[in-house]
Amino acid sequence: MKKLKIMVIFGGKSGEHDVSLMSSASVMKTMNKEKYEIMPIGITKDGRWKKYLGNVEYIDPKNWLNETEDYNINELFLDKDSRGIDLVFPVLHGPFGEDGTIQGLLEMADIPYVGTGVLSSALAMDKVVAKMMLKSVNIPQAEFAVVFRSDFIKDESKVLDELENKFGYPMFVKPANLGSSVGISKAKNREGLIAAIKEAGSFDRKIVVEEFIDGREIECSVLGNENPKTSLPAEVVPAQEFYNYEDKYIDGKSELIVPAKLEENMINSVRELAVEVYKLYDCRGLSRVDFFLERNTNRLLVNEVNTMPGFTSISMYPKMWEATGLAYGDLIDQLIELALDFAKNK
């Protein structure tokens, strides 16, 4: 059988660069080498494309560049027979990977790729636009406000007063366009709020501030194109005050309950709402939908959609599918099939 030639792209110009290295190594380790011929391409933090020649099962964040040669991005635009690629799997998180930019490049090159398209990626990546979309169709979510870095610099006191009047403490502060909990802080007082806005503002000119929700953190994996299916939901019990970057990718001290211990009707509600949001954003391929389940009201609130969720050995997206009966290797096969099917029928 002729092997499918798959370019796996990792790295990128993002605060989530190192996460991408872990995710892509996990994906490439799991890919069936009898079915797929893998071409690993790394994007450096300053945007250079490199063909990776080292061990695909572990990509060292400090040294991977020493095991590369230059890759000419123009090769993507050669005719189908000359470029030697059947499909691209962009295992990229955050800006320039999960925000529609790489998807636009691949659309122009007319190369099938795993994951959701340009518009959906951009919508889900920008927390402000994503929340406006949810609000437009009355999907429940935490109350939020948008702060522009320039407004905060111009009149710090006014911004702080408005946020304190709207939410009180504590509140959560996030960059609008980053994932993996990068740049997120819980502000408990004015001093903490100032520091949190400055931290988020170091990553993005737009900052989202949310009310504090005393709730359980529930997640659900979605897989498919026109007729998506959902995994059993899972729960994250953070070791810290919230599920942060270190917990997700470094020490993994948070408790991951897969599947979540929920009543049957709540499991159904999570899965139905996950599909509703997935379709609202016109996602395809895959996404992970994150929720809060408010403790005192049992209200289910949408937190966010991740169109290229983590794929490391401790990441929730593959773990939820494994708990639902879909093994990691079969999941990757299905993602590739969905990408090829979409390209054939679009």
> What H or E segment, with its residue span, contains residue 192?
helix 190-201
Quote the tokens at residue 8. Answer: 């796996």
Rg (the chain; Cα; Å): 20
Beta carbons of 6 and 37 less than 8 angstroms apart? yes
Beta carbons of 87 and 104 less than 8 angstroms apart? no
Rounded-to-integer distance, Cα 308 and Cα 323, Å: 19
**174 annotated ligand-binding residue:** yes
- The predicted structure's pLDDT at residue 249: 45
The set of catalytic residues is 16, 180, 315
Looking at the DSSP bridge assignments, the partners of residue 126 are: none
- The predicted structure's pLDDT at residue 238: 80
**213 annotated ligand-binding residue:** yes
Q: Report the number of secondary-structure helices (H) and strands (E) in the chain.
A: 12, 15
Rounded-to-integer distance, Cα 121 and Cα 124, Å: 5
**173 annotated ligand-binding residue:** yes
**306 annotated ligand-binding residue:** yes
Q: Please list the pLDDT of the chain residue by residue as tens digits (346 residues).
A: 789 999 999 999 887 899 899 999 999 999 999 999 999 999 999 999 999 999 999 999 999 999 999 999 999 999 888 899 999 999 999 889 999 999 999 999 999 999 999 999 999 999 999 999 999 999 999 999 999 999 999 999 999 999 999 999 999 999 988 654 678 899 999 999 999 999 999 988 999 999 999 999 999 999 999 999 999 999 999 876 654 455 544 455 678 999 999 999 999 999 999 999 999 999 999 999 999 999 999 999 999 999 999 998 789 999 999 999 999 999 999 999 999 999 998 7
* CATH class of residue range 4-113: alpha beta
Q: Any idea which fold 123-139+213-345 has? A: D-amino Acid Aminotransferase; Chain A, domain 1 (3.30.470)
- The predicted structure's pLDDT at residue 183: 82
Q: Give the burial class of 64: count Cβ atoms within 10 A of its Cβ; 0-12 exposed, 13-18 middle, 19 or more buried.
A: buried
Determine how β-strand 87-90 pairs with β-strand 4-11. Answer: parallel
Instruction: Give the total residue count for the chain.
Output: 346
- The predicted structure's pLDDT at residue 240: 65
Domain ranges of the chain: 4-113, 123-139+213-345, 144-211
What does the DSSP 8-state code read for residue 141? B
What does the DSSP 8-state code read for residue 244? -
Rounded-to-integer distance, Cα 85 and Cα 245, Å: 33
Is 144-211 in CATH node 3.30.1490.20? yes
